[in-house]
Amino acid sequence: MIFPQAFFFDMDGLSVDTEPLWLKTEVELANEYGADWSLADQAHCLGGPMSKFGIYLGEKSGRPDLAEWFSAEMVRRMAQRCSSGVSFMPGVENLLTEISALEIPLALVSASPRPIVDAVLNGLSKNYYQFSISASEVSRSKPFPDPYLLAAEKIAVDISESIVLEDSATGVVSATAAGAYVVAVPHLVPIEPAPRRIILKSLENLTVAELIKQFNR
């Protein structure tokens, strides 16, 4: 059996360098409603879903009645910012190029809503992904396994023989619950090693062969 059957990449902070944009936009929106916003607040909301951000900012600003609006406004502002162009994280484009050359199925699986995912994909210098799954396509987004299970179902591969790359604890929980092998590149929040999971500082200078070897396959 070929291993891996597929690669599934998270988007924000793993595939593309959008976390600074998230922080900038979160700070702006929070400040407009009299709330402070720090890296600790960003870490609390890291990995989604968007409703978590809206509820959290609603509590911090004393405006819980605006929770849904905060989420929707964040999506609108982020989609606008990402449409101007985004950059791949270090090492990601080389890895995507190699995976594509090897003709291994490859998809983007994000906890961001469809408008942000589409804005990011349109803003890339090249889109390597065969398809994408956003929070808009599932009833339960990360940390539930649904996004990765849907991605595997879409191309008829065994998720337990596939590799997921994530940067957030929320995403790792999702991928682990789905049964995938997991490559974690922690951002803001530490992630502990576990069976079928490896922790890397970066994807820079990483090859597919080296990645597979780390899973003893």
pTM: 0.91
For residue 92, pLDDT over 90 is answered with: yes
Can you point out the beta strands (E) in the chain? 7-9, 106-109, 131-133, 163-166, 181-184, 197-199
Rounded CA-CA distance 194/61 in Å is 37
Helix (H/G/I), strand (E/B), else coil: 98: helix
Q: What is the mean pLDDT of the chain?
A: 95
Place of tokens 């607040």: 41
Which residue is listed with tokens 């619950």?
A: 177
pLDDT, residue 175, reads 98
pLDDT, one tens digit per residue, over 2-14 is 899 999 999 999 9
pLDDT category of residue 187 using cuts at 50, 70 and 90: confident
- Superfamily classification of domain 7-17+86-214: HAD superfamily/HAD-like (3.40.50.1000)
Q: Can you give the residue ranges of every domain in the chain?
A: 7-17+86-214, 19-82
CA–CA distances in Å: residue 83 to residues 10, 72, 195: 18, 17, 38
Model pLDDT for residues 40-69, shown as the tens digit of each residue: 999 899 877 889 999 999 999 999 999 999
Provide the pLDDT for residue 217.
73
Confidence of residue 1 (pLDDT cuts 50, 70, 90): low
pLDDT tens, position by position, 161-179 = 999 999 999 999 999 999 9
